[in-house]
Amino acid sequence: MSSRLETDVNVQDATGPGPSDGDLVRATLAGRREAFDELIERFQRRATAVAWRLLGNLHDALEVCQEAFVRAYRNLDTLEDADRFGPWLLRIVTNLSLNLRRSRRPRVSLDDCILPAMGDSHSEQLSTSPASEAQPGTRLGAEELEERIQAALGELTPQQRTALVLFSIEQRPQKEGAEIMECSVEAVKWHVFQARKRMKALLADYL
């Protein structure tokens, strides 16, 4: 980091604590590009780890992280709390990663979206429900049903959608979901519960 940047973000000395994330954000907004380079150095490893856990592929994870940093830089002035740059960046990484996975794995089942767990009694009810057998007029082709499910996912809040995709569709542990979403495990459970409740309502005609 240059001495110019150190002066801008009030670094006292070389051995003291470095500038905060908020200091670096404000320095970047003031026109100091090198401040954003410091933010990249601080968060690149963590961002890549999150993307890799979601994508399972290092090349894709690096591509997602590069795009995330570009978007963060371009939209930095929209960040309300400069000191929350880290969670904000990881949300961008998470959303980009999940979008990439969904584009490559378009199949999403009703079970994934609305059932609490495999083996739930509702699973059997769903497979033999009037909508699936006695009322063929309500049955949809796989492609059309997928479109309806994706549309319903789009009606969820960002927190509900992310929690549902991470825990139910991507089958990530709740603890990992909490880390990615920067919230408690209980909050993840609540978002998943509310998401399933909302999905059941939105897809009621097809259950």
According to DSSP H, which parts of the chain are helical? Answer: 3-8, 21-29, 33-55, 58-74, 85-104, 110-114, 121-127, 142-153, 158-164, 174-181, 185-202
Question: Tens digit of pLDDT for each residue in 13-44?
Answer: 333 468 999 999 999 999 999 999 999 999 99
Please give the model's pTM, rounded to 2 decimal places: 0.57
Question: Taking the mean position of all CA atoms in its chain, how far away is CA 111?
Answer: 21
Domain covering 107-207: architecture: Orthogonal Bundle (1.10)
More confident residue, 39 or 149: 39
CA distances from 85 to 10, 40, 60, 69, 70 (A): 19, 11, 23, 11, 14
Question: Tens digit of pLDDT for each residue in 152-178?
Answer: 887 888 888 888 877 877 677 888 778
More confident residue, 69 or 108: 69
More confident residue, 115 or 94: 94
CATH code 1.10.10.10 region(s) in the chain: 107-207
Q: Could you tell me which residues come within 8 angstroms of residue 37 by beta carbon, excluding any fewer than 6 positions away?
A: none
- Which of 45-49, 71-75, 120-124, 185-189 is modeled with the greatest confidence? 71-75
Only one residue has tokens 């897809």, namely 203
CATH code 1.10.1740.10 region(s) in the chain: 1-105
The CATH number that domain 1-105 falls under is 1.10.1740.10
Only one residue has tokens 């404000």, namely 26
Mean pLDDT of the chain: 76
Q: How far apart are CA 68 and CA 126, in angstroms?
A: 39
Q: Give the model's pLDDT for residue 111.
A: 66
Burial group, residue 49, by CB count within 10 angstroms (0-12, 13-18, 19+):
middle
Percent of the chain with pLDDT over 70: 71
Tell whether the model's pLDDT for residue 108 goes beyond 80. no
